[in-house]
């Protein structure tokens, strides 16, 4: 994706809903071993519907944390492949639970194409031969970036990523995603849904004019194909999760040229595809790919 400036009509103040992303509730906390109970309060995550209306037509309804909704919509349109640049957005207004977007073109064909991806990824990582055949038939992004980082770079980004997850620390019930451009955080999102968190981070980074070809995307939650494809569509070459990857995610990363990293915790991580972008000792040369097994399509 090209490096684009902030688009007119984006980035202004917007209503965040009645409660924001968290709400304090009363709770009875029980200690089973002690057979005791006490009344207390704690913060829980909030979610609600968001209608995305494109040129007067409802394109999608997503359930998400009611924050960063302009960034969410912009990121969703970008990483679902409905727009290729913020320049294609002529106006974006959020009114409560409804986002009205005016695009410079008729988006119906791209919305229909995006729905094909949704059909093949609705099982959240289900792996079967039909999934592979469908993924091989549809158009896929290709990430050609030669951007490389060291393990020390990743460790620093993971440290900053962990410190920035305020809603998760308050509730334990949200996902987080951050886009780092050459080691600097340029987009961050927290949401009850891991896909939404990525949308918000992508949208904020795009509004800041990030060059996605020189970015690392870090997020919580497992990585099936749909999560990998979101960042591949905007051109992010390195995708990192602090938890597991799904085989469909590995396959999608291999097909799109993405470096996919999972279980990035403490001093350890697993590199599943394109390890050449990761320098082990602070230099620019990553592990060689020769001899590594590759995901294969069924015959």
* Grouped pLDDT means (10 residues each) for the chain, 299 residues: 42 48 93 97 93 96 94 97 97 96 95 67 49 61 94 95 78 90 97 95 98 97 92 97 94 95 95 96 54 45
Closest CA to 92 of 206, 226, 211: 206
For residue 99, give every residue at least 6 positions away whose Cβ sits within 8 Å of its Cβ, in sequence order, or none. 50, 51, 52, 53, 69, 70, 73, 92, 93
CA–CA separation, 161 and 201 (whole Å): 12
For residue 86, give every residue at least 6 positions away whose Cβ sits within 8 Å of its Cβ, in sequence order, or none. 4, 5, 6, 7, 10, 74, 78, 206, 207
pLDDT in tens, 68-85: 999 999 999 999 999 999
| Residue whose structure tokens are 């749909």 | 226
Considering just the CA atoms, what is the radius of gyration of the chain in Å?
20
Helix (H) or strand (E) holding 205: helix 194-207
CA–CA separation, 99 and 107 (whole Å): 15
Closest CA to 242 of 259, 226, 220: 220
Domain ranges of the chain: 149-279
At residue 21, the pLDDT reads 81
At residue 2, the pLDDT reads 43
For the domain covering 149-279, report its CATH number: 3.40.140.10
At residue 137, the pLDDT reads 56
Q: Contact at 8 Å (CB) between 168 and 190?
A: yes
pLDDT in tens, 211-244: 999 999 999 989 999 999 999 999 999 999 999 9
Token couple for 35 = 């057979």
- The phi, psi pair for 216, rounded to 5°, reads -120, 135
Strands (E), 130-204: 149-150, 175-181, 184-191
At residue 122, the pLDDT reads 42
Q: Please list the active-site residues.
A: 124
CA–CA separation, 181 and 90 (whole Å): 26
């Amino acid at each position: 994706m090209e490096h684009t400036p902030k688009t007119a009509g984006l980035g202004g103040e917007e209503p965040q809903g009645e409660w924001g992303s968290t709400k304090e509730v009363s709770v009875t906390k029980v200690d089973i071993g002690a057979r005791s109970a006490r009344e207390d309060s704690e913060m829980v995550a909030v979610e609600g519907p968001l209608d995305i209306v494109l040129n007067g037509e409802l394109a999608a309804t997503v359930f998400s944390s009611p924050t960063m909704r302009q960034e969410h919509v912009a990121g969703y349109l970008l990483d679902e492949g409905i727009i290729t640049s913020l320049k294609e957005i002529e106006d974006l207004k959020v009114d409560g639970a409804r986002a009205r977007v005016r695009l410079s073109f008729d988006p119906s064909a791209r919305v229909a194409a995006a729905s094909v991806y949704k059909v093949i990824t609705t099982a959240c990582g289900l792996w079967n031969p039909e999934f592979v055949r469908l993924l091989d038939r549809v158009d896929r992004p290709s990430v050609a970036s030669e951007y490389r980082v060291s393990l020390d770079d990743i460790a620093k980004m993971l440290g900053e990523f962990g410190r920035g997850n305020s809603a998760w620390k308050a509730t334990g019930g949200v996902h987080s995603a951050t886009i780092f451009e050459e080691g600097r955080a340029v987009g961050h999102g927290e949401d009850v849904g891991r896909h939404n968190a990525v949308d918000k981070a992508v949208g904020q980074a795009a509004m800041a004019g990030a060059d996605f070809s020189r970015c690392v995307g870090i997020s919580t939650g497992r990585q099936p194909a749909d999560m990998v494809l979101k960042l591949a569509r905007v051109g992010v070459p390195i995708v990192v999760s602090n938890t597991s990857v799904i085989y469909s995610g590995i396959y999608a990363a291999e097909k799109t040229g993405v470096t996919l990293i999972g279980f990035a915790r403490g001093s350890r991580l697993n590199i599943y595809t394109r390890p050449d972008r990761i320098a082990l000792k602070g230099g620019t040369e990553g592990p060689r790919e020769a001899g590594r097994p590759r995901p294969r399509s069924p015959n």
